[in-house]
Amino acid sequence: MSVLENIVKKSRHIMIAGHIRPDGDCVGACTAAYLYLKKKFPEKKFTVYLETLPEVFAFLDEENTIFSHELSGVAEPDLFLALDCGSPDRLGAAEAYFRQAEKTVCIDHHISNHAYAAENYIEPKASSTCEVLYGLMAEAEIDKEIARALYIGIIFDSGLFHHSNTSRRTMEIAGKLMETGIPFWDYIDKCFHERTYTQTQLLGRTLLGSMRVMDGKVIVAAITRRMMEFYGAKTEDIEGIIDQLRITKGVEVAILLHETGEQTYKVSMRSNEYVDVRKIAAYFGGGGHIRAAGCNMQGSVHDVFNNLTEHIEMQMHTEK
């Protein structure tokens, strides 16, 4: 019996949930965990909660049979599985159920995770939560549907195997998932390269308004609520823009601000070689990885940029 099966074998009602504003790794992990466990324990009750399902990943639940986006009236679970979530407050509406559950388990790969559940499976060196989850499953039980969800999570958080968190094990797992017969090339197009016209417009506008500072080593850009309204864009339409900024020649750090309220911004940061953006995000109450991290900040655009670049400059000075 696999580790994942052992975790749930004595439970009757299992709630699976990921972090707010779910990304590919979060969606993939929640989907894969559900499909695997439902296959092994069809008699058990499962509730899989995500705040929303980004349109780009909608094909993982085409029949709308997996995910719940509302929890009113849902009974308390006796087991809560938190996936790809660094802290309980990022579970959103599901946090209350996490607090009430008899047993809590966290499966994650964020180094900023402080093992907040009763039972934790956290591997900071893993490329993704899907990579960690794969290790908790019996390989023989991973069918094409489960493999599809795991593969999407891995390619998403490894940046198509570009990020420094990609290891030999990451590639070996991806290879094994490919051997199930999934059309892996199609998922890469769907999740990374394919864009709606709205996304293309928003990307162009953001890149046009970007600017380089600190001798061109840092590139910064902001997406305002007004821009989002003008293009009729949704939060998921922002996905991928930060990486387009990051690959600008000569840039070490890319910063993208997304205005979410009056002088309130969701900050995304990426670095290429030596700046640890996770430390900067942690200073401002956020978290993430060495080369990819984020936080929420308040103030004017210039205030936020200045506060961030001050910390970047300190690291660059140290590097020299």
Condensed to tens digits (0 to 9), the pLDDT of residues 72-120 reads 888 999 999 999 999 999 999 999 999 999 999 999 999 888 899 999 9
| CATH 3.10.310.30 domain range(s) in the chain | 197-319
> 132, 154 in Cβ contact below 8 A?
no
Within 8 A by CB and 6+ apart from 123, the residues are: 109, 131, 132, 135
320 has a pLDDT exceeding 60: no
Domain 3-193 has CATH 3.90.1640.10: yes
Ranges 17-21, 118-122, 149-153, 313-317: which has the least confidence: 313-317
**Residue 84 is which amino acid?**
D
Give CA–CA dist 314/318, Å, rounded: 6
What was the pLDDT predicted at 307?
A: 94
| CATH 3.90.1640.10 domain range(s) in the chain | 3-193
Cite the DSSP H helix spans in the chain.
3-8, 24-40, 95-100, 129-135, 144-157, 168-178, 184-188, 197-208, 225-231, 241-246, 277-283, 301-319
Burial (Cβ within 10 Å: 0-12, 13-18, ≥19) of residue 93: middle
Burial (Cβ within 10 Å: 0-12, 13-18, ≥19) of residue 194: exposed
Residue pointed to by tokens 């990921």: 18
Q: Of 260, 277, 304, which Cα lies nearest the Cα of 21?
A: 260
40 has a pLDDT exceeding 90: yes
Give CA–CA dist 233/224, Å, rounded: 11
Question: pLDDT per residue over 261-295, tens digit each?
Answer: 999 999 999 999 999 999 999 999 998 888 889 99
> 4, 36 in Cβ contact below 8 A?
yes
Q: What percent of the chain has pLDDT over 90?
A: 83
What was the pLDDT predicted at 140?
A: 95
> 272, 94 in Cβ contact below 8 A?
no
Highest-pLDDT range among 157-161, 204-208, 232-236: 204-208
As a CATH number, domain 197-319 is 3.10.310.30
What was the pLDDT predicted at 56?
A: 87
Q: Of 289, 60, 19, which Cα lies nearest the Cα of 159?
A: 289
- This model's pTM is above 0.85: no
Mean per-residue pLDDT of the chain: 94
Q: Who has greater pLDDT, 316 or 19?
A: 19
For 177, the token pair is 């998932």
Q: Are strands 13-17 and 45-49 parallel, antiparallel or unpaired?
A: parallel
Give CA–CA dist 70/76, Å, rounded: 14
> 60, 149 in Cβ contact below 8 A?
yes
Long-range pairs, 312-316, Cβ under 8 A, ≥24? 312/214, 312/218, 312/253, 312/275, 312/280, 313/214, 315/274, 315/275, 315/276, 315/279, 315/280, 316/214, 316/217, 316/252, 316/275
What was the pLDDT predicted at 192?
A: 82
Give CA–CA dist 156/210, Å, rounded: 24
Q: Of 74, 32, 23, which Cα lies nearest the Cα of 52?
A: 23
> 275, 315 in Cβ contact below 8 A?
yes
What was the pLDDT predicted at 257?
A: 97
Ranges 8-12, 119-123, 162-166, 181-185: which has the least confidence: 162-166
